[in-house]
Chain A
Amino acid sequence: MTEPLEKAGVMDTGNKPILQIRNVSKVYRSKGNLFRGSGKEVVALNRISLDIFKGEIFGLVGESGSGKTTAGRLIVSLEENTAGHIFLGNHEVTRLKGKTLKDFRRKVQMIFQDPYQSLNPQRSVYDTISEPLKIHRIGDASARKDAVKEALTSVGLSPPDDFLFRYPHRLSGGQRQRVAIARAMVLNPEFVIADEPTSMLDASISAQIFNILLAMRKNLDVTQMFITHSLAAARYLCDRIAVIYRGNLMELGPAENVIRHPKHPYTQALIDAVPKFGHSKEAQRYGTLLGKEHEVRKDMGCVFYPRCAVARDDRCSRKMPGLGSIEDGHLVACYLHGSEEIRLKPFSQALAEGR
């Protein structure tokens, strides 16, 4: 199953991508029980393809349950994709073993959503941040201490000596998240995935975290994938944005283009829904969200069709549109913008028939 690349969320610039995702799907099967063999299948990601280039911050935007966190977990190899390929540099992520796997674990880091759960309460800041160095056998004790101090300073926890031997309960939420970022940064990773790093934090603290991520890119050229539900945060932080809905890539393009000139009705519905500082009365709404859902047959047509108010093409209800390019680097999966049908069967159907 090869799709032409330009249709697959892949931008052709001279720059070589650091991460390539090709037709990646993830299906979760519930275990079922004694009386009901294997249970239901949930398609968390449906044939996603995209490239992330060296030094960019790429935003993956979606609502809860859209599959954005799953995508992040697949990339760092916390879970295995059901189909498709993920390449980091020249290596395929799922095929990594032994030394190359350990090398990969050093190069790719993840920052999690909840700093209240991602730090071990029984470990001091120093223990937490130096642990990755110990695991990867980097430096001796004094070199590690210097590296930890440097990482703390780079996330704005200075003077670092004040924080080294504190335990998480003596840190505020923002400070905890900064320790989590320092832990990710201490190994000098090439690629960092930040999964909703500020959704638990206040606005003024979130801005600190955003600026640390921006500085990481500027000073250390770290490529990042920023997973978020907030279009406004993605606009601030990201060079390009991909909008994902129920595991499908709906729109992908330069951040400012996607936000200011959204093409997909779903992206437009998301932008409609964001409060706009009391200007909602003046602001024009796209009105692409249906009050009452269309009835549809399962597993056919565009995933957004049941809620789409502007669906006109009769293909909308029958065949899933593929991503098509509307201008340089701006891709949309919608018949209203000239997408073509995906000729492949819906993933879950193909799976069912394959058994």
Chain B
Amino acid sequence: MALLEVENISIGYNTRKGYLKAVEGVSFELEEGQSLGLVGESGCGKTTIGMALMGLLPPNGSVRDGRILFEGNDTLKMSMDEIRRIRWRKMAMIFQAAMNALNPVQRVGNQIAEAILVHNPDLEKEAALSQVEELFDLVGIPRERLTDFPHQYSGGMKQRAVIAMALACHPKVIIADEPTTALDVIVQDQILEEVRDLQKEFNIGIIFISHDISIVADMCHDIGVMYAGQLVEFGPWQAVFESPAHPYTKALLSSFPTLTGKKSDLVPIPGETPNLIRPPAGCRFCERCPEAKASCEKTPPEWVDMGSGHKALCSGD
């Protein structure tokens, strides 16, 4: 049994213009200590999945179909109390824009101690603070910065503090949503290294959400490529990046400038992502797809298995 199983999940939002199908029929599994990358461009539904896993969808959003099994139990059927016992304690999230995730008028150390106390009401404050000191050692912030306010931290340190907060209750799963997007490359590199070490040390399963395919390739065992609310390709990173099967994955890779290898022309993807209130009947990528056939427009694509866990949602060839 996998630690986390997502089965055929569909999520939508009620908007003024109608029901927006943000995520449709996505399935994946995460084993203990493994990392899974969800990659795709803005609006593809990757953050929505993260929020649904945490039970933190906004009021107008809801899971329409499917199951989320954490250690075999369906979190969608749980009561608020049961979910609270899992959220942060067993499953934590590192949010996009760590800059805004900390309370600006409270000392950073106290904020994290408070998070620990909420989940362990029997603990003394002193004990919680000493746990925070250990967490700071783990993520590489000097202990004397415990009593600083968030504005006294650099961007990288805030990100480290947010990671410390996510680790506070020793979770089994961490959902990291664009954890390094606003940071410079050198700081990003250091933080990703930190995350890799912590993952190994505590055997944490990580779901890594990013628009940056190079980071996901560096961090994850398995990769899921998302487009317009659907998973379109899934597999081990070597397979997905070295022999991509879905035309969108290929297009995404050839629009990304790299430092290594021969310099080649970047090929942008023409057109825009489809409207998810009235999504296309057939393949959602077919309008922009260089390999599309007449049938792609009408018939929804089916999964094609390439073996060893690599599959793509494309009936093209």
Contacts and interface: CB of A to CB of B under 8 A. Distances in A.
Nearest to B266: A207
B186 A273 contact: yes
Interface stretch (A2-10, A33-41, A197-205): A197-205
Contacts of B267: 207
B215 A63 contact: no
A276 B211 contact: no
Nearest to A270: B185
Interface residues of B, number: 34
Contacts of B218: 275-278, 280
Contacts of B269: 204, 207
Contacts of A165: none
Interface stretch (A146-154, A230-238, A309-317, A344-352): A230-238
Interface string B119-140: 0000000000000000000000
Interface in A229-249: 229-233, 235-236
B184 A64 contact: yes
A273 B217 contact: no
Contacts of B282: none
A28 to B, nearest CB: 19
A64 B192 CA distance: 19
Given A203-B256, A207-B255, A276 B189 contact: no
Contact of B217 (A63, A211, A278): A278
A206 B254 CA distance: 12
Contact of A273 (B41, B155, B189, B263): B189
B260 interface: yes
B65 to A, nearest CB: 28
B213 interface: yes
Interface in B245-274: 251-252, 255-260, 263, 266-269, 272
A259 B255 CA distance: 19
Most chain-A CB neighbours within 10 Å: which of B212, B217, B255, B269?
B255
Contacts of A232: 256-259
Contact of A203 (B41, B186, B238, B241): B41
Main SS class of interface, A? helix
A207 B266 CA distance: 6
Contacts of A127: none
A203 B255 contact: yes
A274 B185 contact: yes
Contacts of A63: 184-186
B259 A204 contact: no
Nearest to A281: B218
Nearest to A283: B260
A271 interface: yes
Interface residues of A, number: 36
Contacts of A236: 257, 263, 266
Interface string B149-161: 0000001000000
B243 interface: no
B188 interface: yes
Interface string A47-68: 0000000000000000110000
A116 interface: no
Contact of B186 (A173, A256, A270, A280): A270
Contacts of B272: 172
Nearest to A291: B190
A289 interface: yes
A281 to B, nearest CB: 9
Interface string A179-207: 00000000000000000000000111111
A80 interface: no
A277 B260 contact: yes
Contact of B188 (A271, A273, A279): A273
A272 interface: yes
Interface in A244-295: 256, 259, 269-280, 283, 289
Interface in A205-224: 205-208, 210-211
A305 to B, nearest CB: 16
A99 to B, nearest CB: 41
A176 to B, nearest CB: 13
Given A273-B186, A289-B186, A235 B257 contact: yes
Nearest to B211: A202
A269 B186 contact: yes
Contacts of B186: 63, 269-270, 273, 289
A202 B44 CA distance: 11
B213 A203 contact: yes
B220 to A, nearest CB: 9
A235 B259 contact: yes
B214 interface: yes
A231 B188 contact: no
B268 A276 contact: no
Interface string B181-204: 000111011101000000000000
Given A172-B272, A207-B268, A278-B237, A231 B211 contact: no
Contact of A271 (B238, B259, B268): B259
A273 B260 contact: no
A157 B114 CA distance: 52
Nearest to A173: B42
Contacts of A289: 186
A208 B254 CA distance: 12
Given A236-B266, A270-B186, A289-B186, A275 B256 contact: no
Given A207-B256, A270-B185, 11 more contacts: A173-B42, A203-B213, A208-B268, A210-B266, A229-B185, A230-B257, A232-B256, A236-B263, A274-B214, A278-B217, A278-B238
13 contacts: A203-B213, A204-B252, A204-B255, A204-B268, A207-B268, A210-B257, A232-B256, A232-B257, A270-B185, A273-B189, A276-B218, A277-B241, A280-B218
Which 3 A-B pairs give the minimum distances between C-beta atoms? Answer: A273-B189, A207-B268, A204-B269
Interface of B: 41-42, 155, 184-186, 188-190, 192, 211-215, 217-218, 237-238, 241, 251-252, 255-260, 263, 266-269, 272
Interface of A: 63-64, 172-173, 202-208, 210-211, 229-233, 235-236, 256, 259, 269-280, 283, 289
